[in-house]
Amino acid sequence: MTRVVVPPIKLSLDGAEVFILEVTENTWVDGSKHYLVTFFIKWRNLRSQVATIDVRDNQELIQKLRAEIAKFKLLIYGGMSNIFQRV
């Protein structure tokens, strides 16, 4: 059975909210399937820009989203919160 999830989706991950806006399936030349996931992160009334990551499965998606959340928080802790939108 195929599981179909229709975006937008809101996830809570590592204390942040991740909004998945779009998922596009792509087949590479070697036949492997990859997915382009468009998302943004919201944490402590700050919102990131919309970004896209390439993943092969849900496990890789969670791993890459955790890395993006860590980068987002690091920029905020480093005093760069002015580059993000306040919500």
pLDDT tens string 41-81: 999 999 999 999 999 999 999 999 999 999 999 999 999 88
Delimit the domains of the chain by residue range.
Answer: 9-86
Tokens representing 78?
């480093």
* CA 56 to chain CA centroid, nearest Å: 14
Question: What is d(CA 55, CA 2) in angstroms, rounded to the nearest whole number?
Answer: 18
Q: What is the mean pLDDT of the chain?
A: 91
pLDDT for the residue numbered 1: 47
pLDDT for the residue numbered 4: 60
pTM given for the model: 0.86
Question: What is d(CA 46, CA 73) in angstroms, rounded to the nearest whole number?
Answer: 10
Bridge partners of 78? none
